[in-house]
Amino acid sequence: MTQNQMILKHLKTKGGITTMKAFTELGITRLASRIVEIRHAGNNILDSWISVKNRDGNQVRVKRYTLAKGRK
């Protein structure tokens, strides 16, 4: 299974994904690059900024990607 296929499967079964989740759960280090490829393949991937706490307890913003409903 390719990284793009793993990401699409995750989006379809578990919802959104962040860079950290892609790394820890899927072993993928360049999520944004894979998202560009997935979009070019015709999938409608939405993105939004969310706030999370980092390891020091500080609020930081990270991008979260989701698959638009009604699409591939």
19 closest CA partner among 58, 43, 50: 50
User: What pLDDT is attached to residue 69?
Assistant: 84
User: What pLDDT is attached to residue 46?
Assistant: 98
11 closest CA partner among 29, 58, 34: 34
Rounded CA-CA distance 14/34 in Å is: 17
> What class does CATH assign to 3-67?
mainly alpha
pLDDT at 6 over 80: yes
Percent of the chain with pLDDT strictly greater than 90? 94
- Count CB-CB contacts under 10 A for residue 11: 20
pLDDT in tens, 34-56: 999 999 999 999 999 999 999 99
Band (17; pLDDT cuts 50, 70, 90) = very high
pLDDT at 23 over 70: yes
